[in-house]
A and B are shown apart, each in its own frame.
Chain A
Amino acid sequence: MQTDQQTRATVWPDDIFEVLKENGVTQVAYVPDAGHSKLINRCHAEKTMKTVVLTTEEEGVAMMAGSFMGGAKGVLLMQSSGVGNCINMLSMFQECRLPILMLVTMRGVWGEFNPWQVPMGGSTAKALENAGVIVHSVEHAEEIKETLHACARLAFNTHRPVAVLIQQRVIGFKNWSK
């Protein structure tokens, strides 16, 4: 039998998908992360969403500027290492007061196996804040819906850049066994 916790662990990507739809998100851009794989598949299967795979995360930042200039709402999915690729492009959002909704799955902070993830994981929130992005963090799967909904409203109603960090506790340990 699945425990409640196990159930939450498998449905939170569906929660995210529902909240994105409810908030009128029609563009999704991503560099894949294992933590986002279920969500990415759902977005690709959804006809009302234009789902775009990027070669680097900053492409998605620039894309979201164009989306909103064109009257659409988008979301940018990445893992924490990708935040380091975005910093200068985020200056457009502060200068133009444009909204962006970033959904960042964390690595390098909790139960990490790969030491190369630690430096960027440790500076993700600070780097975003220094770039003028409002940062909210989700530690437990059952908080995702409420936090994401609040962040989408904050971003699109007030034209502000907002990031939701999905902490590694939510995602669970990556399986490194061969």
Chain B
Amino acid sequence: MAAKKTSAKGMDRRAVVAALVKDRGDALVVTGLGSSTYDTFAVGDHDLNFYLWGGMGGAAMAGLGLALAQPKRRVLVITGDGEMLMGIGSLATIAVAAPKNLAIAVIDNGHYGETGMQRAHTGLGVDITGMAKAAGIKSSTTLRSMNALKAWLKTWHHKSGPVFADIKVAAVPAPMRLPMRDGTAIKHRFRTALLGNAAFD
């Protein structure tokens, strides 16, 4: 069917997320609820992953708080287009706060995948890269191929931020892989890895 064909266009989301975190080094990663959290776990669990299972719309701002708290580390937010849209004003806040070490990667399938693949604004013509640019995040780009993504990796690793990428992926659900979901456990694991004993001061 034509509709199916269109939705299968675009990159494989797991391959995209795998490429994003491959050479993460000591970077801190925040993942938006739903598929982005599952993808990031599926391609490699890590103590420095802050997996969100809720707080829809908050992933980018959690990334900002983290980036300001840890200015020497790179911080990468991996989130869905629906999640980003719910907190779209945070692009303005992040542009103004101007953290040099924050990167935002939107895994854009044009749909609300987690809730049954309903079309999202991004699948109906809304351009979040344009919104990020207009907010003042100068390094904002839409990525449509693995080659373009590979070239962008330098940007997220090295360019003075904030940097933003809207990465077009196929609207195809990936196999279910679920990370730990107890919030307190996620907190302790992350903070212990980052702060050592000071996590319990």
A residues apposed to B, CB below 8 Å: 26-27, 50, 52-56, 58-72, 74, 88-89, 91-92, 95-98
Contacts and interface: CB of A to CB of B under 8 A. Distances in A.
10 contacts: A50-B68, A62-B57, A62-B65, A62-B87, A67-B68, A72-B68, A72-B69, A92-B58, A92-B183, A97-B184
A64 B93 CA distance: 14
Counting chain B CB atoms within 10 Å of each CB, the highest count among A50, A69, A74, A89 belongs to A69
A91 B199 CA distance: 21
Closest 4 CB pairs of A and B: A70-B69, A66-B65, A62-B58, A55-B89
Contacts of A91: 54-55
Interface stretch (B19-27, B105-113, B162-170, B189-197): B189-197
Nearest to A56: B89
A96 B65 contact: no
B90 interface: yes
Interface of B: 28, 30, 50, 52-70, 87, 89-90, 92-93, 96-97, 183-184, 186-187, 190-191, 194-195, 198-199
Contacts of B194: 69-71
Nearest to B187: A96
A65 B65 contact: yes
Contacts of B67: 66, 70
A63 B195 contact: no
Nearest to A64: B65
Nearest to A94: B183
Nearest to A54: B93
Contacts of B61: 59-60, 62-63, 66
A61 B190 CA distance: 19
Contact of B55 (A53, A55, A65, A97): A65
Contacts of B64: 52, 63, 66
A67 B69 contact: yes
Nearest to A50: B68
Counting chain B CB atoms within 10 Å of each CB, the highest count among A53, A74, A96 belongs to A96
B62 A69 contact: yes
A66 B66 contact: yes
Contacts of A55: 89-90, 92-93
B187 A58 contact: no
A65 B62 contact: yes
A66 B54 contact: no
Contacts of B54: 88, 91-92, 95
Contacts of B60: 62
Contact of B187 (A53, A56, A97): A97
Nearest to B89: A55
A34 to B, nearest CB: 21
Nearest to B59: A62
Given A59-B61, A68-B69, 11 more contacts: A52-B97, A53-B93, A55-B90, A62-B55, A62-B87, A62-B90, A63-B64, A67-B65, A92-B52, A92-B54, A92-B58
A97 B68 CA distance: 21
Contacts of A66: 30, 50, 61-67, 69
A88 B30 CA distance: 18
B187 A98 contact: yes
A71 B184 contact: no
B186 to A, nearest CB: 7
Contacts of A96: 183-184, 186-187
